[in-house]
Structure 1
Amino acid sequence: MDQGNTAFILIAAALVLLMTPGLAFFYGGLVKAKSVISMMMMSFGAMGLMGVLWVLYGYSIAFPTTAEGTTQFPWAIDPTNFSLAGVLETPEGAAYPPLAFVAFQATFAIITVALVSGAIADRAKFGAWMIFAGIWATVVYFPVASWVFNFGLADDASFAYGGWITHGMQDVFGVGAIDFAGGTAVHINAGAAALALALVLGKRVGFQKGAHVPHNPPFVLLGAGLLWFGWFGFNAGSELAADGTAALAFVNTIAAPAAALLAWLIVEKIKDGKPTSVGAASGAVAGLVAITPACAALTPFWAIVLGLLAGAVCALAIELKFKLGFDDSLDVVGIHLVGGLLGTLYLGIFANTSGLIYSGSFNQLIVQAIAAIAVLVYSFVLAFVIGFAIEKTIGFRVKNEDEIAGIDTVVHGEEGYVLSDARA
């Protein structure tokens, strides 16, 4: 067992786990002051629920143990891994303990579910959100994680093989889709679910451009900083080894979001006359989203180009909700769905060796598009069905009067900012 790589994976897992509290700050600063507790609690609720479900059965769905070379399409459940019973021991000759990989992938499940919550800020019931999160993770995230990340980890049969998106399409097209750290499984997946929930819950009271402004931009900047810090574990850690590929992913995780931050600010300056702190934070996140699938398959130059495109495109894409009439509260669609699609498809042209400009073949672009569309449609349809069923039974949205008053006290009995004590 390689202790250096084991330590690398565990540290990366800790970094990715930090991303969810970072997301809570990022989202919390963007909502109304009277909704900040509700918004942050949806991220922390995802941490609690996904941590338990992943151990109980999530891993057994996402990474079923199979014979080498077999492909899991579209679903498989490994009963030997319920409650992680099958991965408690480290096989002889393994590069790292299976539990290290379990821990790393658990943090991906947590952050993916938490991302969805931004689309329903200011108006969702916490209990309904937790029910949705549990069902959606079970029927959408866990199997999609298997499609993407179940790519073959070792020659030992105790590890999983398969993953039709990143491995299985090689038999047809000669190349599999490239998604190094989760452009499809995390960002397109969460963005599509976010769009579905935004449609189910409908618009906030008084929804129009400029009606809802971030109550705490310093929170937004703090959250973006924590997300960027944790993203090094997200991207470089996906190599599962401290090597040159991890170093490339690390550098690209600096370059792309830096370029995206600048591009977003330029678009803001041209469009609105002023670059904003929230725009800087959003641009960095857009670049991080776009580079996620591509971080190990691009040279740093092409990573900068991708970042510039992501910052500019996502800065414009967030306006779609006003033109198309859906209320994606915190721009999960405009940043994560659009950024995830951009980063995934960009690889079809610029990926090292297999992209169009290197190989002269469209095959990489074709498999990237198949992967993106498959995850988008699967996630959107099931998220819409789950959300609609919850809304029509127990109700997903709070009453309008509670939304106007602020849902923190109604749902959680707390206030984000207590400036004076009434008991004094």
Structure 2
Amino acid sequence: MFFLVFAAIGAAAAQMSVTLLTLSLKANQIDASDATSILALVSGAAGIVSLVGLPIIGRLSDQTRSRAGRRRPFLLAAAAAFSVGAVTMIVANDAWSLMLANLAFTLGSVCAGVSTTALIADQLPSNRRGLPSALISLSTPVGALVGIGLSQPFGTSIVALVLIPTLMAVAGLVSLTVFLHDPQVTQERRPFSFLEVIGVFWVNPLRYPGFALAFASRMLVFSGVAALNTFQAIYLIDNFGFAPKDLGQAILLTVLINTVVSLLVAPLMGSLSDRLGRRKPFVVIAATILAVGLLMAASAETFAFYLVALVVIAVGQGVYFSVELALATQVLPDPENPAKDLALINVANNLPVSIVATVSPAILAIGATANDAKNFSALFIAGAISALIGSLAIAFIRRVR
């Protein structure tokens, strides 16, 4: 469990440092006047790669029959992709090279996420997945905090911002590869035909309604989170007047709030959910709290009030992270081969990035004026509505209490 969490945190440190800070700084360096468009392009492409890559890599992992096991090869692939992404990110000097760098980081995150999430279902019974699921889910805010925090002494140095989290990711993934008990699967491998490739993107919602509802809920809730995370750096610059040189400390403070609150809430809620044998009420309450926080962020006129909104959002995320993944493992169509279906669930983490990137220009333009060219309040309100709808979807799942 230690090395599993270490690997998940390291991968999140590499990915989230890029998402929350490095991409915005690089986009601002490339073209400050058009940074949001560059971010939308780069983030949208990454979302598409996640959408395509997660189920395919999950299926390939389930069907791997190597002597090293079925998860180890993809842990090493993640480490390699992060390394390539780091080098490309450092030398990127236009939107297209920045996109390629981010795609490599995205591929690394996909391979790491598929492997670490599948190991929960591989090695733990359903009634003991609450706490481990909370710890793995918390790897995102914890990784963001550690990755950005370790880089702060180096200011806005892109080299440090990229290399430090990437080295942590590689160390965590390689360590898990060494210490993991991942026995070779001897069951006969099914052919991986063209139709099978198409099939990895589909789970019949009529046959598996619980899985479909869990997917829809996560996609809607994470759309609310993506509305904030994708544009937070630009929002702080435009609305609160942060200079690029001060942006790292501001982002670190927001990540610190998110991580500390989530760490206080998620393990307790995960253990309580295991003890009570209930998942649905926790998820519904969490998504509702998150929506309230987004509405507060939409009305923030000062950075201090924005931080209060982030506390509320972090409470919602902490409760959501603690239970929702455990709920998803209980509605899998094929529990013996969990990686592909859990990867589809993780698509719901990444698809919102593409959705937000696609619709955000239109939403940001609502009511825009010469003095206020981007309506971030409208974007955050849309995110809150999405999270509320996501909370309602969970209520209709029948197989889980």
> What TM-score, normalized by structure 2, do the two folds share?
0.34
> What TM-score, normalized by structure 1, do the two folds share?
0.32
Structure with greater proportional helix content: 2
Rg larger for: 1
By relative contact order (CA 8 Å, sep 6+), the higher-ranking structure is 2
